[in-house]
Structure 1
Amino acid sequence: MASLLLNQENITIKIPSYEIIDGVTYYIIEVKVDDVNWTLKHRYNEFAELHEILVSEHCVEKDLLPPKKLIGNKNESFIEKRRVGLAIYLNSVYNYLKKTMPRELALFLDLHVYDIFFLLQNMALNFFIEGDSLLESTKKYNFTPIQLYAISERLKQPCPLLEVMDKKFDFSHILDVNSHLNTLVIDGSPHLYGTINKIYGMGNLRDTVKILQVHHTKLKNIVELAMCEEVHKRIENANDSHVWLKVTLLDLSNNCIEIIDEAIKLMPHIESLILTNNHLSEISNVTLLPRLSQLHLGSNCFTHLPDNLYTKLGNIVYIDMSQNKLTSLISFSKLYSLEWLDVSCNAIENIDEVKNIGSLPCLENLRLTGNPVSTIIDYRVKVLVPFGKRAADICLDNEKPNQKELDTVAVLQALRIAREGKSPTFNAADSSLFAAEIPSA
C-alpha cells in the first residue's frame, strides 16, 4: 500500500492519455507514491467540481484550472491541450496543498483506496458516524485484508496532521470499535495485499472475537491465520498471546486450505468449524477441539473417510460432507451423537450403505439427494427401512416421510419379521430382501 505521509516528495502524478466513452472524454490519471502506482480516470466536469471546492475552502487560485469550452471541446487538438493543462493543474494543486492534503483532493486521486492513512480515515469516519449503532446491534464488521493490513501498518506510524485537525478521522475510532467486536469477517481482495500474511497486530481482537470468518483469500492452512503477525509461522513457537480466547465459530469457507493443521488448537473453544469449498482430502487434528459439535466439509476433495472417524469426532452433532466423492457411509456408523448428516452430491451408489447409519440413535436429518443411489426405484422407502421404528423421525432430503411411505416401510418390516421370526436386523446378508421390489400400497 501507499503511504503518502512518509513519501510526500516521492510522488508523481501524470495524465498520459485520455479515452472517449459514449461521447464523453475521460482523462487517464497515473499516480505513483514511492513504488506503489495506480490509475484512475475523471472527466473535465469532475476536475471543475474539485477546483470549485479547493478555491472556496483552500485558497487555490481561481484561474489555475484550464477553462471550459462549450464549442469545439470534442476537437482532438483541444482535448490534447486540455490533457496537458490538467496534468499541470494536478501537480500544481498537489504541491500547494501537500502539507495539509485536503480530503477532497485525496478522494479525487483515490488515495482512500490505495493509501494507508486515507483508507483508514474513511474507516474512522464510518465508525465515528455508525460505530455506536454497530456496537449496540451486531458487533460485527466486514474487513478486507487490505484494511487490516492498513491498520497494522498505521500502528507503527506517527499521527497524521489531518487526524489532529479533525477528530472525525481519528484512528482511535477504529481501535475502539475493534476492541468491542464479537464477529470479525475478513473478505478477500484481489489486491496485492489481499492476503492474511500481511496482517499484524491482531492481539486485541483475539480477546473479544467470538465468530471469525475469513473468505476468498489464499489461505492454505490455519497457522497462517492463527499466527498471522509472525514472520516464522511455526506452531512450536506459539504462546498464550496467540490463543483466540473466545472464538466458538470459525468459518474459513472459500479459501485454499489443504490441511487442518495443529494450529487449530490455538482456538480451543471452537464449537462449529466451517471449511466448505477448500482443498481438503482428510480430517486431521480435530481431536484438539474438545467442544466441536458441527463440522462443515462440503465441496472439498474427500474420496473416503477413516473407519475410526468416531475416535476423532466422538461428540459431533452435525456433519456436512456434501459435494465430495464419497462412496461409502460406513465411517459414520459409530457416530452415536450425530443428529444431522449431509452427504448429498457424492458418489454413493449402493442402497446397502444406508444400513451403516440405520442404528444411529440420534440421527434425524439425512441428505442423500444428488447421489446415484437417489435415482433408484422407491429410493425414499428403501432408505427409511433400516431405521426401523425410527423411520418416522427421519427427515430425508429435507422432507419428512408421508403416511404412504411409512405404511410401506411397516409392511417391509412385517415381512422381515415374519421371515426371521424376530425383530429385523439389517446386515449384508439381508440385501436380497432389502433390495426387493416394494409392494404396492
Structure 2
Amino acid sequence: ALPASRSIGKTASNISEFPRQWVYIIDVTDGQHRWTVKHRYSDFYDLHEKLTAEKKVDRRLLPPKKILGKNSKSLVERRQKELELYLQTLLQQFPQVTPTPLTNFLHFHLYEINGITAALAEELFHKGEQLLQAGEVFSLRPLQLFSVSQQLRMAKPTCCNGDAKTDLGHILDFTCRLRYLKISGTRGPVGTSNIQEASLPFDLSVFKSLLQIEITECSSQQILGLSSLRSSLVTMSIHRSTESMMSVLVPEASEFSQWEPEGVESGCPVTAVIPVWRNLTTLDMSHNCISSIDSSVKLMPKVEFLDLSYNQLSSVENLQHLYNLVHVDLSYNNLRVLEAAHTRLGNIKTLNLAGNQLDRLTGLTKLYSLVSLDLSHNQLAQLEEIRNIGSLPCLEKLNLSSNPICIIPDYRTKVLAQFGDRAAEVCLDCNATTEKELDTVEVLKAIQKAKEAKDRMSGNDKKVDSVTLSNICIFIDFVFISILHNCINHGKK
C-alpha cells in the first residue's frame, strides 16, 4: 500500500571512473523516512520489461533509448525529467498494491514498512521451519521489528498483495516458536536513508518461547514487551543499550513508587508486585554505561552467571540477593576498593576484577569458595596484599599480570610462597607452578618460619640461646637436604 505522502524525486550525476555511463539518483520519501536509490537507464529498461510482461503496463510509457548524443548533458537532463514522470505514473497506476519488481527497484524491502515485512515473511515461508528445527540463533534488525510492530497495529489484512508467501502470519508463527534471537542495531542512519534505528520502538511480546536473547546497539527506551519474556528466558545479553539495570529488568518500575518481587513479604506498603525472571540463569550486561547495581537484581533469584564488565561501577551492592551466584565478572569498571566482599558476593567460584583500580585485597579474605580470581591490570604494588588471599582454601587460578607487583625480583616464587603448602595447587598468571619454583618456595618458607620464631622471642624479650639457635639451623639444614634430595630424584644438578 502506498501512503499519499510518498513521492519520488530524482537527480543525475556522473560516475567519475566511468565517464560515459550516467547514474540516476532516485530520492524516495515515505512519510518521515527518506532514502536514495541509484540506477542506470538499463535498470529502468529491465524494470519496464518485467512490468509490461506481468502487469500489462503500456510499453510506450518508458522513454526510449537514444543512440546519438546519448551522453550529452542536455539529453541526460531531459531523460531525468522523463524518468521521474515515469516513476510517478507507475505509483499512481498501482495505488493499492505496488508490484514486486517496482518495490525491489525502489528498495522498499530495505526501508519501507510493507516491503520489509513482505520480504521477511517470504524468507520465513521458505526457511522458517528449517531454521526452527536447526535451533540456530536468528538475527533481526530493529527496523524489521519496528515494521512488524507497526503492521500489527494497522487494521488491515495480513496479506495485501495477494501473494500468500508474504503473509504476515508466517512471521507470527515463526516468532511464537523461535528460541534464540539476536537483535543488532546501528548508530547513525541505515544505509542510504535518514532512518535512525535507535529511535524506532519495537515490541518483543510476539516472541512466546524465547530461551535466549541478545540485544546490541539499541536504546532501552525503544525495547517494548521485554517483560513478557520473564517466564521463558534463560539467557539474556544486553550491550551498548542502557545506563541502568532497572530500565531492562523492571521497565515498569517508573510507573510505581514502591514495588517488590513476587513471593517476597514486605513490611512496607507497596503499590505493585512484579513477577520475577523465573528461569533466568545468565545475565550479560557488559559494555553498557551502568554506574550502580540497583535493587532490580532481586527479580532474578536464579542467576548463576553475571557479567557487568566494561561499565562504570564504583561499588558492588545488592548482589547478596542472588543466592545462586557462581560466576561474576566485574572487570574494567571503576572499582578502587572491595570491602567485605563475602557479604555481597556469597559463595561464588569465579571472580574477574581485571582492569579496575584496586590496590588492596583486604576485602577478599573470606571468599572461601573462590576457585578462580583475575586481578590483572590493577594497582597492586605490595606483596603483603597477597597474604589476604593466600589462605583461601579453594583458590586454584590467580592472575596478577600487569600490576606493579610484577616487577618485584622473584615475583612468582614470592607470591606462591604466600599460599604455603598449597603453592603447588595454584596456577599463577595462566602458568602452572614448576618444580624449581616449588623448591624455591620451600626455602622461602623455611626462612620465613625462622624469622617468625626469632620475632616471637624478641617480642617476649627473650634471648635466643645457643640451643634454640641450633634448632633453627637444624630446621633450615633439613629443608635444604630435602630440596637436594628432590633435585637428585628429578635428575637435576
TM-score (norm 1): 0.83
SS in 1 for 2:355: coil
Shift of 1:389: 1.9
Q: In the alignment, what sits opposite 1:44?
A: 41
Matched, 1:365 2:397: yes
Give matches, 1:198-237, under 5 Å. Answer: 198-202=222-226, 204-217=228-241, 219-228=242-251, 230=252, 232=254, 236=258
Q: In the alignment, what sits opposite 2:27?
A: 30
Matched positions, count: 418
Structure index of larger Rg: 2
- Kept in 2, the 8 Å contact 1:186–1:215? The answer is no
Counterpart CA distance in 2 for 1:99 and 1:284 is: 57
Q: Quick one: structure 1 residues 313 and 13, their matched pair in 2 at CA, closer, same or farther if it must change by over 3 Å?
A: same
Shift of 1:237: 5.9
Q: Quick one: structure 1 residues 225 and 385, their matched pair in 2 at CA, closer, same or farther if it must change by over 3 Å?
A: same
SS in 1 for 2:147: helix
Give matches, 1:269-348, under 5 Å. Answer: 269-305=302-338, 307-348=339-380
Percent same amino acid at aligned positions? 37
- Kept in 2, the 8 Å contact 1:148–1:199? The answer is no
Deviations 1:74-105 (A, max 9, x none): 43333322322222222222222341123333
With 274-283 and 241-250 compared, the bigger mean Cα shift is at: 241-250
With 252-261 and 15-24 compared, the bigger mean Cα shift is at: 15-24
Q: Quick one: structure 1 residues 12 and 391, their matched pair in 2 at CA, closer, same or farther if it must change by over 3 Å?
A: same
Alpha carbon RMSD of aligned pairs, Å? 3.1
SS in 2 for 1:101: coil
- AA in 2 matched with 1:278: N
With 90-99 and 179-188 compared, the bigger mean Cα shift is at: 179-188
SS in 2 for 1:244: coil
Counterpart CA distance in 1 for 2:367 and 2:174 is: 42
Shift of 1:160: 4.7
Counterpart CA distance in 1 for 2:33 and 2:332 is: 37
Counterpart CA distance in 1 for 2:283 and 2:168 is: 28
Q: In the alignment, what sits opposite 1:11?
A: 6
Q: Which sections of structure 2, spanning at least 5 residues, go unmatched?
A: 188-195, 201-217, 261-271, 455-482, 484-492
Q: Quick one: structure 1 residues 269 and 31, their matched pair in 2 at CA, closer, same or farther if it must change by over 3 Å?
A: farther
- Kept in 2, the 8 Å contact 1:181–1:205? The answer is no
Shift of 1:231: 9.7
Counterpart CA distance in 1 for 2:402 and 2:296 is: 34
- Kept in 2, the 8 Å contact 1:181–1:209? The answer is no
Shift of 1:233: 5.7
- AA in 2 matched with 1:127: L
- Kept in 1, the 8 Å contact 2:97–2:161? The answer is no
Q: Which sections of structure 1, spanning at least 5 residues, go unmatched?
A: 423-438
Counterpart CA distance in 2 for 1:242 and 1:421 is: 60
Aligned partner (choices 172, 175, 186) of residue 172 of structure 2: 175
Shift of 1:331: 2.2
With 371-380 and 382-391 compared, the bigger mean Cα shift is at: 371-380
Give matches, 1:67-82, under 5 Å. Answer: 67-69=64-66, 72-82=69-79
Counterpart CA distance in 1 for 2:259 and 2:22 is: 57
Deviations 1:156-176 (A, max 9, x none): 223456467333333333333
- AA in 2 matched with 1:394: V
Shift of 1:235: 7.6
Give matches, 1:146-161, under 5 Å. Answer: 146-160=143-157
Matched, 1:259 2:292: yes
Shift of 1:311: 0.7
Aligned partner (choices 54, 60, 72) of residue 57 of structure 2: 60
Q: In the alignment, what sits opposite 1:435?
A: none
TM-score (norm 2): 0.75
